[in-house]
Amino acid sequence: MKKAQTWFYAIALVIPIIVLIGIEGILRISGYGSSHDLFIPVPNQPAYIQPNPDVIQRYFPSPEAAPNVAIDTQFFLAQKPQNTLRIVAMGGSSAAGFPYGRFGAPAGILQHRLKGLYPEQKIEVINVSMSSINTYMLRDFVDEVLDIQPDAIYIYAGHNEYLGVMGVGSSYQGLGSHGLNLLYLSLKEWRIVQLMQAVILALLDNQAHESATANTRTVMASIAKNQSIAFESPAYMAGINQFSDNLKHIVTQFDSAGLPVFLSTIASNDRDQVPFNSSYTLPTAAANELDSDATSLTQLQSLYQQHSYHALVNYRYGQALLNTLPLQQSTNLTKAKQYLTTARNLDGLRFRAPEHFNAIITDIAQQHPNVHLVAGKEALIEASTDGVIGNELMLEHLHPNAKGYTLLAHSALKAMIERGFLPQAPYTQTQAIAQQHSQISAADIIFAQHKINNLTSDYPFTASPQPVPTLIATEPAEQIGLARINENDYLKQQTLLVNHYQNTQQWLLAANAASTLADGLPFNPQYAIGAANLYRRAGSFDYAHYYALHAIELAPSDVNMRLSLAQIQFNKRLYEQAITSLQTVLTLQPNHPQAQQYLKQIQQHMSSTS
């Protein structure tokens, strides 16, 4: 009897599993549902892959429900070349370089600086960062990132933990608890789960309509569900726990694969960003006093003593200390920093990460020998007036400007060299050189300002949507950038910039613009040749060297490019390499007159200087 009961329970358990597997199989065979891989093939370029611009849709039941965000386009070889170092960058909008995009991101700036430092080495920096995502998505990306065989990981993440996709205070909240969200991440590719999502979405048609309507506004305006998450409240602690657990899991997975992880502290605007929400109500008299421009430092100190848990009180008091006390008194400056940091920690609308996150980042780096702390925030502090990060390095609440992003890239480069991942190099000079070779032009800057104006003309910077300010171009490059607002054609913008800068004989700016075309279409030898020749004309021989080698890799029989490479090598006093390049030309064309002449000149020069 007992044996019969055991068989009955076994059958009762197995049958539903078989049914579910059968339904799953039928749905897959019929083509129902979708899988949004992190990397997809590049059309018409079978050797190359790119980050999937639609990968955000893997977390939503329909494309209409997802925020309008994507990973920036970047093509790279699916089969990792030999002797190549491949670095993968991960994070949210700041790691993605918003509002400048790929070439203004820490990863993009780092990649370009590496060309100048190590022109003869193959070093890739592939960026899978994207606005609105947090450590849930980074955790979900790990296996696919490992599949492309990285040699190191750079992570700058934390600001989207509360209000990003699946964040505890987000309208894109997921299933609510950390455990259920992790369960969903493991099951989301099942077609049965996708079918259930579609059914629920159909039943909640009004909610779907609201989500689609929200997509007509900025992501920030549509994403905040719980508009106030009080400091140390259950929701606040849930965000802390989610960030800590996810980040530990991520670095452990990479560590188990033998990869060094360069984990950066994160920065935000403390000096000049007023808290969005104080999550603590002041009495009317105190609120009026706080809002008054005539309130003295003594009155602010009194308000702080009575209402120390109010974000705006901390902010106003910290700013008053910065503005009125002698900053040579270190205690005054220390107090001002403390109150401004506390103001961010108490800000109930949690677009900026609380300082607790940097403590978690530091602690995780200390616990894992293969995880190296990158002093990203500290680099911005060091470059800030009075050591308080504000508008001189930030565009609004947390996105750095071009100088700020350069500092983040420099901090990553510094850590990679000091930890022995990259060879020794004069990285102390890298910030100035990186700015001279910036791939962010005046056109990009004015286009980025339009994006910032669009962002700050809506919630939470304003109570309701406001008209986006009109920008006025003051020079031709800015006119080219403004035209892109309507045309949305980056390649056209860069082509026009190259032509403009060549016509005005601004060779380094022309080369910087041309380099983005070569990087954007890495399978096109003509763009690489163009960048190499312009950098050579600008006298930037390290960058010319890099692009010349890349051009020859793509077009090995291009004699003119090999002649250019020989000239670049001669300019760098790499005489033996220049001779080798010229001998290769003569192998391709034995009677080439220029190659014979250059070879003779170099040999005579070497004889006269020996």
| Domain range list for the chain | 81-175+224-272+350-436, 284-346, 475-609
Q: How confident is the model at residue 12 (pLDDT cuts 50, 70, 90)?
A: low
* pLDDT reported for residue 151: 98
What pTM was computed for the model? 0.92
Residue 328 has pLDDT above 60, yes or no: no
For the record, the structure tokens of 318 come out as 């910290």
Interval 472-489 mean pLDDT: 95
**Does the structure show a pLDDT above 60 at 560?**
yes
For residues 388 and 379, give the distance between their C-alpha atoms in angstroms, rounded to a whole number.
11
Mean pLDDT of 431-438: 88
Return the pLDDT at 360: 98
Burial of 530 (0-12, 13-18, 19+ CB in 10 A): buried
Residue 210 confidence (pLDDT): 46
Q: Which of 160-174, 288-302, 385-399 has the highest mean pLDDT?
A: 385-399
Q: Residue for token digits 């986006």? A: 468
Tell me: pLDDT of 315 over 90.
yes
Distance of CA 216 to the CA centre of its chain: 23
Highest mean pLDDT among 31-35, 487-491, 513-517: 513-517
**Mean pLDDT within 358-375:** 97
Dihedral over Cα of 414, 417, 422, 425: its sign: positive
Torsions phi, psi for 141 (to 5 deg) = -80, -15
The alpha helices in 387-440, defined as continuous H runs, are 402-418, 430-436
Highest mean pLDDT: which range of 74-88, 417-431, 589-603: 74-88
The pLDDT score that the predictor gives to residue 13 is: 56
Asked, colleague to colleague, whether 81-175+224-272+350-436 and 475-609 share their fold, the answer is no
Confidence of residue 330 (pLDDT cuts 50, 70, 90): confident
pLDDT at residue 605, as a whole number: 84
Token couple for 545: 């060297």
Give residue 239's identity as a one-letter amino acid code: G
Per-residue model confidence (pLDDT) at position 212: 42
Q: How far apart are CA 528 and CA 553, in angstroms?
A: 10
Q: Are 483 and 493 in contact (CB under 8 A)?
A: yes
- Which pLDDT score, from 0 to 100, does residue 349 have? 93
Q: Determine the Cα–Cα distance for residues 494 and 142; give it in Å rounded to an integer.
A: 33
The DSSP secondary structure of 319-369, one letter per residue, reads: HHHHHHS-TTSHHHHHHHHHHHHHHHHH-SS-SSPPTHHHHHHHHHHHH-T
The stretches of 169-233 forming alpha helices (DSSP H) are 178-187, 191-203, 205-214, 219-223
Q: For domain 81-175+224-272+350-436, which architecture applies? A: 3-Layer(aba) Sandwich (3.40)
Element at 541 (helix H, strand E): helix 541-554
Neighbours of 34 (CB within 10 A): 12
Torsion angles phi and psi, residue 342, rounded to 5: -60, -35
- Is residue 521 classed as helix, strand or coil in its secondary structure? coil
Summarize pLDDT for 95-118 with one digit per residue, the tens: 999 999 999 999 999 999 999 999
Task: Tell me the per-residue pLDDT of 19-74, one tens digit each, with 9 for 90 and over.
Answer: 556 665 675 566 556 678 999 999 999 999 999 999 999 988 888 888 899 999 99
Judged by average pLDDT, the poorest of 45-59, 222-236, 467-481, 568-582 is 222-236
For CA atoms 327, 330, 332, 337, the dihedral sign is positive
Please give the share of the chain, as a percent, with pLDDT higher than 70.
Answer: 86
The H or E element that residue 352 is part of is none
Helix (H/G/I), strand (E/B), else coil: 150? coil
Alpha-carbon span 516 to 13, nearest angstrom: 58
CATH topology of domain 475-609: 1.25.40
Residue 420 is encoded by which pair of tokens? 């022995």
Sign of CA dihedral 170, 172, 174, 178: negative
Segment 552-577 mean pLDDT? 95
- Residue 517: is its pLDDT beyond 70? yes
Return the residue matching tokens 């019969």: 4
Is residue 339 within 8 A of residue 318, CB to CB? The reply is yes
Asked if pLDDT for residue 585 goes beyond 70, the answer is: yes
Mean pLDDT, to the nearest integer, of 192-218?
54
Confirm if 170 and 139 have CB atoms less than 8 A apart.
Answer: no
- What integer pLDDT is reported at residue 20 of this predicted model? 59
Residues 6+ apart with CB under 8 A from 120: 545, 546, 549
Instruction: To the nearest 10°, report the CA torsion of 160, 164, 168, 170.
Output: 130
- Could you tell me which residues come within 8 angstroms of residue 412 by beta carbon, excluding any fewer than 6 positions away? 106, 110, 154, 262, 264, 374, 376
498: nearest Cα among 450, 446, 538: 538
pLDDT-based confidence at residue 199 (cuts at 50, 70, 90):
low
Tokens standing for 443? Answer: 């056109």
Residue 354: Cβ-neighbour burial (10 angstroms; 0-12, 13-18, 19+): buried
How many CB atoms neighbour CB 440 within 10 A? Answer: 23
Q: How far apart are CA 294 and CA 312, in angstroms?
A: 16
Note the pLDDT tens digit of each residue in 240-256.
999 999 999 999 999 99
pLDDT of residue 21: 66
Model confidence at 10: pLDDT above 50: yes
Tokens encoding 507: 């060779």
Instruction: Please determine, for residue 392, whether its predicted confidence score (pLDDT) is greater than 70.
Output: yes
